[in-house]
Structure 1
Amino acid sequence: MRIVFMGTPDFAVPCLARLLDDGHEVAGVFTQPDKPRGRGYKLMPPPVKELALERGLPVYQPAKMRDGEALSILRELSPELVVVVAYGKILPKEILELPKYGCVNVHGSLLPRWRGAAPIQWSVIAGDAEGGVTTMYMAEGLDTGDMILRRATPIGPDETSDELYERLAALGAQALSETVTLIAAGRAPREPQDDAASCYAPMLSKELAEIDFSKPAREVHNLVRGMNSWPVAHTTLGGKLLKVYRTRAAQGKGAPGELLGGKSFTVACGEGAVELVEIQAEGGRRMNAVDYLRGHPVAAGTRLGESPNERE
């Protein structure tokens, strides 16, 4: 099938690779413009662009999708199907209606749960026992189109969003392969979503990543898992930033945010306690929390998340 692929981050790379490996004709690849990264703010291509160039595919990076430029390019490319995977731009109606078989999307959740920009992270933050991917026909609403295939997978109790992200990228590529085969054969199902069962997964922010130790330990643990590796859950220790990459359930009681002492970095929550396993102190490197305590002893009773002027 003649396909135009639209995608940007690592999550989309296995899908593009699978389309090529399956023998489809990828007429062109749309991806976000190059962005400055690193200390030197050098312009760097998105991961999808890197693969496309390796495979000799034409790459298009329009800044907008509604000014007619993208539509003109697509008309020239004349795809039978447009495949969208984490592209990061909303397609206007005239593009959605252009291809013979429409536009399909690979979404990182079991729709209608977690529509929106960060479905993988929010499924972890919410403590979902199951995640997955959904392929769907794209509509004008946000992730509201009719579903084609849903593929589920368990989410481990300590699994981070980064770890789930990698697994779902591979699962999404498999689901996409099956979806395109079904569309080509005229056998693709079309299941409307139940809007009443939907929930929204907004973009992550550093503000959302601040740990509230007054919440139950399980919620704190899930936040840390979901915010790994960006924007990273955080609190303060002695008024200075403390990033928390991993935690685990622990025994103990105390005031929320109170360090309970002993050899581990165990902190009381509103219900129960968590042990900080991997952290990064302000100005330091990412490291095991026990190793940090050996070199930077912290007295039992110290409160995390407390500014210096709040101390009694």
Structure 2
Amino acid sequence: MPRLLFAGTPAYAVPTLIALVNAGYSIAAVYTQPDRPAGRGQKLQISPVKEYAASIELPIEQPLNFKDPAAVAQLNQYAADLMIVIAYGLLLPPAVLTAPRLGCINLHASLLPRWRGAAPIQRAILAGDNATGVDLMQMDAGLDTGPLLARQVVEIPPDATAGSLHDQLAAVSADLLIRHLPAVLAGQCVATPQPAAGALYAKKLTKAEAQLDWQQPAAVLDRHIRALNPWPVAQTRLGGDTLRIWAAQPLPAPAADAATNAVTPSPGQVIATSAAGITVATGDGHLLITQLQPPGKRVLTAAEFLNARNLTGVTLD
């Protein structure tokens, strides 16, 4: 039975670890990020991977990084055949990449070389990509630059959020690994270098990206909202309040009727409200807001929000 090491941190990695355990593979140790303070109380939070590994009593390692020779020495002591990495959050140095007999393989949520880096799911939605997927690669010293061993392409549904696509690709990652791991362990997977052209970097999302720009077309704003759901969540300003926008859909602007001498609404102006949602003018087309969250409140449907507030003619910014 091959000895495996597993390295992962967020919820995205958990289905793959579960799949390995259920398939009967021997996990010598699980590597995950150190516990860190989070939330208002700044209490130490353990990673989802650690939570699952602890629940089935797998050995757990949490080095701050691998600059400490002791961390590399500890990894070497496991005498692993292969290390499986998925959303671990650390760039592995050559001493780690070459420690297991067969090196390290990584599952990455994009079609490489497009969207290397920390936020491939969100960046694919923001860019309006029609497809993404999961790549299984042999790791090298670069950031998601290693040769490809296997791939599963996934179409991006037009209503996909970062959350829904995350869950879909997490399941695809687990399935892809279990299907190809026997060939990897047997040395039967052919490693194909990534194409030289088309590389894009998927930088980590920040809260500063949450603000909606109503000058943008409705289709762009729709992608923005879906890509930032569930974090950090798109937002707009209503007077002195910040409204978080959880769900919306783009609408084409109706054709102008010259005979009516109608004034074209400015971007951000609320032009209609109904039980279906709040219709806002944009730089091109209209956006129908269907779910939103006032400060300190739960997420509301547009109809619930409108029960307490009239927005007709108001401008969001």
| TM-score, normalization by structure 1 | 0.94
Aligned to 2:265: 254
Query: Aligned letter for 1:135?
Result: L
Aligned to 1:235: 236
CA contact (8 A) 1:62 1:69 kept: no
**Helix, strand or coil for the counterpart of 1:74?**
helix
Query: Aligned letter for 2:293?
Result: Q
**Helix, strand or coil for the counterpart of 2:307?**
helix
User: 1:133 offset after TM fit, Å?
Assistant: 0.6
- Residue 305 of structure 2 is aligned to residue 304 of structure 1: no
Distance 2:116 2:193 in 1: 14
Aligned to 1:2: 3
CA contact (8 A) 1:13 1:48 kept: yes
Query: Aligned letter for 1:276?
Result: I
Aligned to 1:178: 179
The count of corresponding residues between Structure 1 and Structure 2 is 304
User: 1:257 offset after TM fit, Å?
Assistant: 0.9
User: 1:194 offset after TM fit, Å?
Assistant: 1.3
Distance 2:33 2:236 in 1: 33
After superposition, the CA RMSD in angstroms is: 1.3
Gaps in structure 2 of 5+ consecutive residues: 254-263
- Residue 286 of structure 2 is aligned to residue 273 of structure 1: yes
Distance 1:259 1:46 in 2: 42
User: 1:54 offset after TM fit, Å?
Assistant: 1.4
- Residue 143 of structure 2 is aligned to residue 142 of structure 1: yes
Aligned to 1:193: 194
Query: Aligned letter for 1:304?
Result: L
Distance 1:254 1:81 in 2: 60
Aligned to 2:108: 107
Aligned to 1:72: 73
**Helix, strand or coil for the counterpart of 1:244?**
strand
User: 1:129 offset after TM fit, Å?
Assistant: 1.1
CA contact (8 A) 1:221 1:274 kept: yes
Distance 1:304 1:8 in 2: 38
Query: Aligned letter for 2:26?
Result: E
Aligned to 2:260: none
User: 1:39 offset after TM fit, Å?
Assistant: 4.1
**Helix, strand or coil for the counterpart of 1:195?**
coil
Query: Aligned letter for 1:261?
Result: A
**Helix, strand or coil for the counterpart of 1:153?**
strand
Aligned to 1:309: none
Aligned to 2:226: 225
CA contact (8 A) 2:108 2:135 kept: yes
CA contact (8 A) 1:124 1:226 kept: yes
Gaps in structure 1 of 5+ consecutive residues: 306-312
CA contact (8 A) 1:116 1:143 kept: yes
Distance 2:8 2:117 in 1: 15
